[in-house]
Amino acid sequence: MPRYYTDDPIADFNRKDRDDQKWLDSRPKCHACGEAITSDFAYHWDDAWYCKACKDDLAENILQEIYLPLPEVPA
Ligand SMILES: [Zn+2]
């Protein structure tokens, strides 16, 4: 991230804020919550990116689907 130091701290702050927003806009968005993914790693599944929090929800759903009772074992 570029840093700016002028004698106007408010202008510095606003400029940094705009740069941060520009950076966030360039990041992939989480398919579930729509937030920009700011980490270097994220979860890619079914052609979409997911942040860690949403991955946990997603994994929970998937795991529920494959969590099945074992077939009856013949006696
Ligand atoms: Zn998310």
pTM above 0.75, yes or no: no
60 Cα–ligand 1 center, Å: 14
Q: Are 53 and 35 in contact (CB under 8 A)?
A: no
35 Cα–ligand 1 center, Å: 6
User: For ligand 1, a single-atom ion, which residues have Cβ within 5 Å?
Assistant: 30, 32-33, 51, 54
26 Cα–ligand 1 center, Å: 16
The predicted-structure confidence for 6-22, as pLDDT tens digits, reads as follows 889 999 999 999 999 99
The predicted-structure confidence for 9-63, as pLDDT tens digits, reads as follows 999 999 999 999 999 999 999 999 999 999 999 999 889 999 999 999 988 998 9
9, amino acid identity: P
Instruction: List the domain boundaries for the chain.
Output: 29-68
43 Cα–ligand 1 center, Å: 10
Compute CA 66 distance to the chain's CA centroid, rounded to the nearest angstrom: 25
